[in-house]
Amino acid sequence: MTEARIHGYLVLAMFVLAVVSFIALLRVAAPYGRFLRPGWGPTLPARAGWILMESPAVILFIVVYALGTKAAAEAPMVLLALWQLHYINRTLVYPFRLRGTGNRMPLVIALMALLFNCLNAYINARWISHFGAYPDTWLSDPAFISGAVLFLCGWTINQQSDTILIRLRRPGDTGYRIPEGGLYRWVSCPNYLGEMLAWTGWAIATWSLAGLAFAVFTTANLLPRALANHSWYRQTFPDYPASRRALLPFLL
């Protein structure tokens, strides 16, 4: 079987994984953060977990990218820069900004995310620097421009919202408060909304099934989590703003 065909099957596998994850996560909230609970095996410090599970999205992505025949072309390099803008922050900056000393996550969650990130790094990096076709003119194509703008808007929303959450705690705090400001005026999980917009932008900017598979997976993963977080907020805080929605302002 050719590598191109294997790549195609792996992209298909990610769509299937998205459907399976969506159904499972609507029933059972992933056991990390506020939904951490016993019964999921050994745990590791949350900070180490984030670095471990996200690192393939930086390292493996760069390695696979560099092996591509079009790695030195301009448009793939711009796509690489967009990807790494997000993942260098997520892997090497975000974990050190987290507050909540002593927070842990199940090893099984970190390992599942690690495997997912290996798959995701391979299918996306291999596509942009090898199987995909991105001439220099791609950078002035409406698909690239609109996708890149959406990616950067989503990334900015995700950053701003994560920062608001992080600042709710003083160093060493572990408690939860009602987040205010930014898009929290309208929704409980603007960080997830930003993440979903960013990867939808990536799917458009790369105009690829690999990118689309990741955008669909991100939504399948984070939509159920946003619903669970939202109902947790409403149950936990009697004064939680009644007009605030879970994920989409005024809608959901």
Q: Residues in the site for ligand NDP, rule: CB under 6 A?
A: 33-34, 46, 98, 100, 103, 158, 162, 165-166, 168-169, 176-177, 179, 191-192, 195, 218, 221-222
* Nearest residue (CB) to ligand NDP, 75 versus 79: 79
Rounded to the nearest whole angstrom, what is the least distance from the CB of residue 105 to ligand NDP in the complex?
A: 8
Q: Of the candidates 85, 72, 90, 88, which has an alpha carbon nearest to the alpha carbon of residue 128? A: 72
Structure tokens given for 226:
């946003």
CB nearer to ligand NDP: pick between 126 and 225 = 225
Q: How far, in Å, are 37, 51, 102, 156, 193 from residue 45 at the CA level?
A: 14, 10, 7, 27, 26
Q: Shortest distance, CB of residue 49 to ligand NDP, whole angstroms?
A: 10
The residue (of 3 and 173) whose beta carbon lies closer to ligand NDP is 173
Closest separation in Å from C-beta 235 to ligand NDP: 13
Q: What are phi and psi of 187, to 5 degrees?
A: -140, 155
User: For ligand NDP, which residue has the nearest CB?
Assistant: 33
Task: Judge contact between 158 and 194, C-beta under 8 A.
Answer: yes
User: Measured from the CB atom, is 8 or 31 closer to ligand NDP?
Assistant: 31
**Among residues 46 and 80, whose Cβ is nearest to ligand NDP?**
46
b/e string for 145-157 if b means 16 or more Cβ within 10 A?
Answer: eebbebbbebbeb
| Least Cβ distance, residue 139 to ligand NDP (angstroms) | 25
Token reading at 211: 């990118």
CB of 25 to ligand NDP, least distance (A): 10
Q: How far apart are the first and last CA of the chain?
A: 44
CB of 177 to ligand NDP, least distance (A): 5
For ligand NDP, which is the closer residue by CB, 94 or 144? 94
